[in-house]
Amino acid sequence: MAYYPRLRDLREDRDLTQSQLVELLHMHKTTYTNYEQGKREIPFELVIRLAKFYNVSTDYIAGLKKTPH
């Protein structure tokens, strides 16, 4: 299962709690927590939404690039 180590960093860099973010994304907190912890595979559609939200590339979220763009 893929682990997206930058999900938490991006969220915290924006001073968002998980509760605030999941409210914006209209999803359950437990589901999102599982994505951050790598316990559940994140749908690519959500990776794209998060990349747009944070204004970074999907490769950056996946940890494939060191720079956000």
* Residue ranges of domains in the chain, CATH in brackets: 6-62 (1.10.260.40)
| pTM score above 0.85 | yes
Residue 55 to residue 38: CA distance in whole angstroms = 22
For the segment 33-69, what is each residue's pLDDT rounded down to a tens digit?
A: 999 999 999 999 999 999 999 999 999 998 888 898 8
pLDDT band at 1 (very low <50, low <70, confident <90, very high): low
CA distances to 6, 23, 26, 59, 62 from 66, in Å: 10, 28, 29, 9, 10
Among left, alpha and beta (phi > 0; psi -120 to 50; other), residue 48 is alpha
